[in-house]
Homo-oligomer: A and B are copies of this chain.
Amino acid sequence: MAVYTEVSDDELARFLAGYELGRLLSYKGIAEGVENTNYLVHTSDGTFILTLYEKRVDVDDLPFFLGLMEHLSARGVNCPLPVRDRNGNVLNELAGRRAALITFLEGVWPKRPKVEQCFELGKALARMHIAGEGFRLRRANALGISGWRPLFDKFSARAEEICAGLDGMISEELRFLELAWPLNLPQGIIHADLFPDNVFFVDDRLSGIIDFYFACNDALAYDVAVCINAWCFDGASAFEPAKGAALLKGYDSVRPLSERERDAMPILARGAAMRFLLTRSYDWLNTPKDALVARKDPADYIRRLAFHQSVGSIADYAPQLIS
């Protein structure tokens, strides 16, 4: 949530001269995104987001992310569209960083998603999965199941600083997930981080999806499981069945989950909770308390994981749909 790289008016004017975007009217550094520096840019042609990619982003991944946004946008997904410069490039350099301009999407993200918004989110996720078909680039999920144990090894010795018993709990759960993880589910492009702050609404209409910087190839149903974790628990990490039902109903209305995907949902949800428990725990232990970026409490995902461990089948995520 910070501007890591300052861009001067002269630098930006030189950069924009490479694009056909009219005159620069204003630009403001915005507190969006944890990884990169973002500016909101007004030109006489419209409003854009200028992103400068900071050190934590692997520049080799940028063609995948930017190409994916172009691919999805061309197939009707409301997502930012990278702007091509006069030479047809979407990636350039600015202030010593790789930089791209993307179109600005209006909309606000819901701090407390409503049931109807979960339904809209489910539909949009399914549409995105279908629109992702045919994208020519591939990217492995660095934070998928094969990445969890190496990440845990980096902090397991300090896990008890977060809460008593966490080291053993994660170890046991990882063993279970590695044994039982389903490998034969339909694959495709997933967003992998579709939290409410990456989904915009205007008047309860879903106006756009942003932040594709964790997107990768993985099981489509895993993306649904991430959204169950991200959208369907209240502030005290209690599951909200009406939201789970709405999300799954919305998704199914566009891309019906297969029997195998439905059977796998409880373990996929455990895996998704594990993924965020691991990254939040690592960040918790490695971010200074007074840092620019607010630390997110790992305990939220200990509670979610415990709920998923108690779930018998996908019906438990959507009781209204069954009854």
Contacts and interface: CB of A to CB of B under 8 A. Distances in A.
Interface of A: 1-3, 8-10, 12, 23-32, 40, 42, 104-112, 200, 202-203, 288, 290, 292
A112 B10 contact: yes
Contacts of A200: 26
Contact of A31 (B25, B28, B109): B28
29 contacts: A1-B3, A2-B2, A3-B31, A8-B111, A8-B112, A9-B108, A10-B112, A12-B108, A23-B202, A24-B108, A24-B202, A25-B106, A25-B108, A25-B202, A26-B105, A26-B106, A26-B107, A26-B108, A26-B200, A28-B28, A28-B30, A28-B31, A28-B40, A29-B30, A29-B32, A30-B31, A31-B31, A288-B290, A290-B290
A40 to B, nearest CB: 6
B107 A25 contact: yes
A3 B108 CA distance: 17
A40 B30 contact: yes
A293 to B, nearest CB: 11
Contact of A29 (B31, B42, B110, B112): B31
Contact of A9 (B26, B29, B110): B110
Contact of A109 (B9, B104, B106): B9
Contact of A40 (B8, B40, B105): B40
B40 A203 contact: no
B25 A2 contact: no
Contacts of A1: 3, 29
Given A8-B111, A23-B203, A42-B106, 15 more contacts: A2-B31, A3-B31, A8-B112, A9-B108, A9-B109, A9-B110, A10-B112, A24-B108, A26-B105, A26-B106, A26-B107, A28-B31, A31-B31, A40-B40, A292-B292
A112 B42 CA distance: 21
Interface centre among A10, A26, A30, A200 (most CB of B within 10 A): A26
Interface centre among A9, A24, A105 (most CB of B within 10 A): A9
A295 to B, nearest CB: 14
Nearest to A30: B28
Contacts of A290: 288, 290
Contacts of A111: 8-10
Nearest to A1: B3
A28 B104 CA distance: 11
A26 B197 CA distance: 12
Contacts of A26: 104-108, 200
